[in-house]
Structure 1
Amino acid sequence: MCMTKLLGIDVSEHNGVINWDTIKKGGIKFAIIRSSYGHFVEDRQFRRNVKECERVHMPYGLYHYSYVATDQEMREEASGFIRLCKSCKPSYPCFIDMEDADGWKASHHVSDAMNVKVCYYTCSELEANGFYAGIYANLDWWNNHLNSSTLDRFDKWVAQWASVNTYTKPYQMWQFTSDGRVDGYTGRLDMDYSFVDYEKLITSMGFNGYHKDGNKPENHPPITTHPARPRYSVGDKIAFKGLWTQSNGGNWYPVKNLAIKEGIITKILYGTQHPYLINHNVGWANDDVVIHQESNRFKIGDKVSFDGLWTQSNGGVYYPSSSLLVKQGRITSIAKGAKHPYLINENVGWAQESALHHI
């Protein structure tokens, strides 16, 4: 089986004024451009790098280097990053860069729980705005600071400057050196492998502002619902009659033509025709084609542990378990139809089914 492995680079103002014709001729297949850092400073080469990548037809994504110590700074960063993402049309993911190369986070006593929260919030906000989100961190940070199951649903870009990547969880990109060379370019470059053809995935699935029309699907079921708030939630397991290739429009494939007949909702794009993304990239569904929702495995009185809790049954603020004093409890109420229906210990917080584990 042939595995996708595309060679790319990641760049910022520290690389100076880049000759993108040389980079393209040197065999580079994609670039991840730093858009910004902190709360909030735009990279001085961001606009030029984007313009040049578009001129030479170089697929690109974006990254934002995070400096956050408070919830307010977290919101400012996410808002600013989304604004820059909307200013262009990346065909690779939009990453939050979580590291502490200059010691800022340590000097400001930023906890691991806060860093996890920032990653989750930023990626969730990116997704809510239609962008394909991911997280960049080095191996030490993934193993010792961001080792939370709440982040596993986002794509991971792992930095390990070595001949072998030893990260044990799934990852989609690998920064393997900071000393890369391209013929005709005199400086050093961070180099990366992507094991996903993101350009194909993102443009065909309708992320990052891409809404490819394609041909009208034949014999697709009539779309009778277009709810502002879909019936199902991220993490729900569903079976379906078939899937679309895009969240709006796209081609319809009945279940007989698919390799799977059920899956997990991993993303919801509210207000679209087919808001449910199945298994990250398999296809899109809506309420009309869902056959059933997995029966609830939990009931009132069950003792459970949890990956994290929300402050409300619908929406609210999410806190990973690493930031909670209580690590387990009993289900004391179930709010049917809510996004996070399971109330823990009367008032500790709310959880969704995918975050619960029987004890």
Structure 2
Amino acid sequence: MARDRKPSRHRSRLIAVSVAALALGGTALAEIPAAAAGKPKGHDVSSHQKNVNWQSSKAKGAKFVYVKATESHTYRNPYFNQQYNGSRNAGLIRGAYHFALPNKSSGQAQAAHFVRNGGGWKSDGWTLPPALDIEYNPYSKHKCYGLSNAKMVTWIQSFSNEVKRLTGRRPVIYTTTHWWNTCTGASRAFASNHALWIARYDSATAGALPAGWQFWTIWQYDNASGSLPGDQNLFNGSMTQLRKFARGY
């Protein structure tokens, strides 16, 4: 997903796309994979998309959206309010996500910053659970942020625990299978109580999942070349199930 922090925003985006292509096996599909046809369609956005035309997104079939709220422990998306509130006003189920930089501060500190700046949740049927975007470091050659597998698992657990304490829900985890198995040592510690948002492009299916997970909840199947602003996603269920997921039961 998009990274917004300076320096070298354009270079960071190029690095991120290159890493995704290597990890996920090529370029992205612009069309919904046939195996996932009929599932609720959504997207995710950040400051790169600026002020989004939400009525247009809805007209193109969007049912849900994740909006980037924060990154590390200092950055906040300057377009967050327009994107988060605008999507809700247009009738989309929406949620917020945090882009993790585990080498900058603790999981607890980043979770607190996230929740303070839009990463909350309430059981109103319109608010998706908070999400943690944890993937290859776009700012450095140290793709696991210089953390050992054990320290990465501890960092994620710290983030999750603080989000749960502050909001009442465990965060959705956005990642790739390759990053997860490489940087957490194929940890199975999160699969039982964290929904999976898997990124995999140029594929008819979501493919092999990270260690422990038996199914995906959201699949990011295209990185910004589809019909909706930002990255393209699918929910693994019906609209009724999507609403239940938002409500927390």
TM-score (norm 1): 0.50
Question: How many pairs does the alignment contain?
Answer: 199
Q: In 2, Cα distance between the equivalents of 1:86 and 1:179?
A: 26
Aligned to 2:181: 143
- 1:76 is matched with 109
Hey, what's the Cα distance between the residues in 2 that align with 1:50 and 1:144?
A: 33
CA contact (8 A) 1:136 1:156 kept: yes
Aligned to 2:12: none
Q: Secondary structure at the match of 1:85?
A: coil
Residue aligned with 1:136, SS: strand
The residue type equivalent to 1:96 in the other structure is L
1:51 to partner: Cα distance: 1.4
After superposition, what is the alpha-carbon deviation per residue over 1:321-354, rounded to whole angstroms, capped at 9, x for unaligned?
xxxxxxxxxxxxxxxxxxxxxxxxxxxxxxxxxx
Report the secondary structure of 2:67's partner residue: strand
| Alpha-carbon separation, structure 2, partners of 1:193 and 1:30 | 9
Q: 1:3 to 1:28 in 2, by over 3 A?
A: closer
Q: Which residue of structure 1 lines up, in the alignment, with residue 245 of structure 2?
A: 201
Distance 1:57 1:93 in 2: 17
8 Å Cα contact 2:97-2:119 kept in structure 1: no
In the aligned structure 1, how far is the partner of 2:57 from the partner of 2:242? Answer: 19
3-state SS of the aligned residue for 2:114?
Answer: helix
1:1-359 aligned at under 5 Å gives the runs 5-69=39-103, 73-83=106-116, 84-86=118-120, 91-104=127-140, 106=142, 109-128=146-165, 129-146=167-184, 147-153=186-192, 154-163=194-203, 164-168=205-209, 169-170=213-214, 171-182=216-227, 189-196=230-237, 197-203=241-247, 207=248, 281=249
CA distance in 2: counterparts of 1:63 and 1:189, whole angstroms: 14
Distance 1:165 1:87 in 2: 27
Deviation at 1:105, TM superposition (A): 7.6
* Residue type at the aligned position of 1:138: T
> In 2, Cα distance between the equivalents of 1:193 and 1:143?
23
Contact 1:67-1:104 within 8 A present in 2 as well: no
User: Does the 8 Å contact 1:119/1:135 carry over to 2?
Assistant: no
The 3-state SS of whatever aligns with 2:106 is helix
CA 1:92–1:4: 2 relative to 1, 3 Å: farther
Q: 1:122 to 1:48 in 2, by over 3 A?
A: same
**1:134 Cα deviation from its structure 2 partner:** 1.1
Residues 250-284 of structure 1 show CA distances to partners (whole Å, capped at 9, x for unaligned) of xxxxxxxxxxxxxxxxxxxxxxxxxxxxxxx5xxx
Secondary structure (helix, strand or coil) at the match of 1:149 reads coil
Query: Identity of aligned pairs, percent?
Result: 21
Computing the radius of gyration over CA atoms, which structure comes out larger, 1 or 2? 1
Distance 1:48 1:152 in 2: 33
Q: Which runs of 5+ in 1 are unaligned?
A: 208-280, 282-359
In 2, are the aligned partners of 1:69 and 1:105 still within 8 Å (CA)? no
Q: Tell me the C-alpha RMSD between the 2 structures.
A: 2.6
3-state SS of paired residue (2:243): helix
Q: How far off is 1:162 after superposition? A: 2.2
String of CA shifts for 1:228-263, please: whole Å, max 9, x gaps: xxxxxxxxxxxxxxxxxxxxxxxxxxxxxxxxxxxx
Structure 2: gaps spanning 5 or more residues: 1-35
Counterpart contact for 2:65–2:92, Cα < 8 Å: yes
Superposed displacement of residue 179, structure 1 = 3.6
Q: Which residue of 1 aligns with 2:33?
A: none
For residues 245 and 110 of structure 2, the distance between their equivalents in structure 1, rounded to whole angstroms, comes to: 26
For 1:26 and 1:132, locate their aligned partners in 2 and report how far apart those are by CA, in whole Å.
30
Instruction: Write 1 or 2 for the structure with the bigger share of strand.
Output: 1
Work out the CA distance in 2 between the residues paired with 1:157 and 1:86. 18
Higher normalized helix content (fraction of residues): 2
User: Contact 1:4–1:194 (CA<8 Å) still a contact in 2?
Assistant: no
| Cα separation, 2, equivalents of 1:104 and 1:61 | 28
- How much has 1:34 moved relative to structure 2? 0.5
- How does the TM-score come out when normalised to structure 2? 0.71
Identify the residue that residue 288 of structure 1 maps to in structure 2.
none
Alpha-carbon deviation of 1:73? 3.0
Q: What SS is found at the alignment partner of 2:189? A: helix
**Structure 1 residues 63, 130: CA separation in 2 closer, same or farther (over 3 Å shift)?**
same
- Residue 127 of structure 1 aligns to a residue whose secondary structure is helix
Structure number with the bigger relative contact order (C-alpha 8 A, sep ≥ 6) is 2
